Amino acid sequence: MPGEEYLYQIESEVPGFGGMYYDDEGDLVIYLKDLRLEGPARAAVRRHLIGPGKRGAPDGPPAQIKFRRGRFSFIELNVYWHRVNAAVVALPGIVSTDLDERYNRVLVEVRNATARAAVAEAISRLSVPDGSVEVMDCGPDTIYCGESGSDPGSYETLPPPPELPAEDTTSMADSSVAPDSPPSSNPDPSIYDIAGAPAYLTDRRMRLEGGLQLTYRSPNGRTQSFCTIGFNVWSPFSGYVTASHCSPRMGHSQYDTGEYQTDAYHHQPKLGSGNGNYTGYERRDPVFQPASYWTARGISGCSGNYACRWSDASLVAYRTDISRFRTVAFGSIAKTALNSTSIMGYFSVSGKAATRLTPGSALYMVGSQSGLRSGQVLSTCKAGPVYPSNGKNNHLMCQDRVTFTQVLSGDSGAPVFAGSPTGSSVVLYGILSGGTNTYGYSVSHVINIEADLGGLGVTP
């Protein structure tokens, strides 16, 4: 799957390589079917994993490299996962499937005993070895393992919203014009909008950057839902990425259909137009495609009666006259202390992650409601979650799961990145979709986001 190609490269050099992860001590644990290959495995992993410009342990090189005998190679598990996923993903009560590197198994998460029994029966008819599949019970009515629903944001009852001024609606047609080159420098790094006043992620900010609170109008027109700006893009046009479910209808672009309705508009931090709170409108939010669409393209992550996409991401175009009201800070994510929403500067985005992190690696996010949070990668490229919408079983392919703590409603769309929380430069990893503190949070990797939205210019 995208972003995991390096694992196949390692196994091509070390037959029987079964995956790897970082344990609680920060040691890198490598599965091998033949422990006599420890030397070649150590060398291959260091070439592909550790070194300048490559991925390392949570805070640097591992304390040690450990080896554990695995029953299955990574390539074998990939074959088994494809078979299992195709057979069970459309069964009632399935939460997700995964090639789990921590346990050298295929993992299937289910909602109840009925689903567990159905999975067992389906697997009994497959050509997969005994012990190659683990089934986990996650509780009833789950989308993420252990959760009772997606994270649509928090709600606040409001009076009927005012109509947008004419200048806001007539400017839409011009927003497709892309700049000839990326911006040459970051805007003013001041963290204050008013001299001496502390700034928070939930404030109205003159400097627009990742991590700030954004608001969109719910379809009934009387409530507003909070989410988080993920990251700014200067190409293909000036805008930003946030979660696709931070819109009235996930997987539906009103720009494409010509439905310029006010509930597709985004505001920062709350609804309002006369003071320049209106910042832009959803421009790209690709539809979920049926399994036949993906099968025809040689992609097997979508099966049964599902309609699938790569990410929970949409692209919002800034209003063309945004510079009258705000400064767009390209390559910038608001910086706070851990577990704080008080802005103390910004992180500069140095680039986009080219691969997925090894389970156990450290990641960070800045959510508008919870601020800077730390976490570790639990698993990568899970098949799921499922979003029931408009009578369809909408499914996200190849999502990563991360153990962020105490994430709050309204953090959806938050930028997720690798790097030091006290440093100045970070690598963009993706955006937060949703989840639970108990079972982890789903993250759409930047590779998946660009697979849905196209190439994005993110660095200044």
Query: What strands lie across the sheet with 133-137, from one edge to the other?
Result: 94-100, 105-110, 133-137
Q: Which one, of 4, 3, 443, lies nearest residue 241 by Cα?
A: 443
Query: Is residue 256 very low, low, confident or very high in pLDDT (cuts 50, 70, 90)?
Result: low
DSSP-assigned letter for residue 247: S
Peptide bond before residue 269 is cis, with ω within 30 degrees of 0: yes
Mean pLDDT of 338-344: 94
Confidence at residue 406, expressed as pLDDT on a 0 to 100 scale: 82
pLDDT tens by residue, 34-58: 999 999 999 999 888 754 334 444 4
Confidence at residue 6, expressed as pLDDT on a 0 to 100 scale: 92
Confidence at residue 145, expressed as pLDDT on a 0 to 100 scale: 56
Confidence at residue 146, expressed as pLDDT on a 0 to 100 scale: 39
pLDDT tens by residue, 90-147: 788 888 889 999 999 999 988 889 999 999 999 999 999 999 999 988 765 444 553 3
| Backbone angles phi and psi of 164, in degrees to 5 | -75, 145
Confidence at residue 148, expressed as pLDDT on a 0 to 100 scale: 32
Mean pLDDT of 306-331: 91
- C-beta separation of 282 from 247 below 8 A: yes
Quote the CA–CA distance of 306 and 406 in Å, as a whole number: 31
| DSSP output for 200-216 | BTTS--SEEEET-EEEE
Pairing of the two strands 231-233 and 223-228: unpaired
Q: Which one, of 312, 346, 330, lies nearest residue 426 by Cα?
A: 346
Confidence at residue 338, expressed as pLDDT on a 0 to 100 scale: 93
Query: Is residue 1 very low, low, confident or very high in pLDDT (cuts 50, 70, 90)?
Result: confident
Mean pLDDT of 354-374: 94
Mean pLDDT of the chain: 81
Quote the CA–CA distance of 106 and 81 in Å, as a whole number: 6
Q: How far is CA 285 from CA 263, 280, 384, 416, in A?
A: 14, 14, 18, 20
Amino acid code (one letter) for 311: S
Confidence at residue 233, expressed as pLDDT on a 0 to 100 scale: 97
pLDDT tens by residue, 63-83: 789 999 999 999 999 999 999
Query: Is residue 384 very low, low, confident or very high in pLDDT (cuts 50, 70, 90)?
Result: low
Q: Which one, of 49, 46, 18, 20, lies nearest residue 32 by Cα?
A: 18
Confidence at residue 159, expressed as pLDDT on a 0 to 100 scale: 36
Would you state the structure tokens that stand for residue 143, as one six-digit string?
């989308």
* Cross-strand partners of 372: 338, 366
Confidence at residue 225, expressed as pLDDT on a 0 to 100 scale: 83
Element spanning 256, H or E: helix 254-257
Is pLDDT of 174 > 70? no
| DSSP output for 342-361 | BEEEEEEEEEE--SPPPTT-
- Environment class of residue 202 by beta-carbon count within 10 Å: exposed (0-12), middle (13-18) or buried (19+)? middle
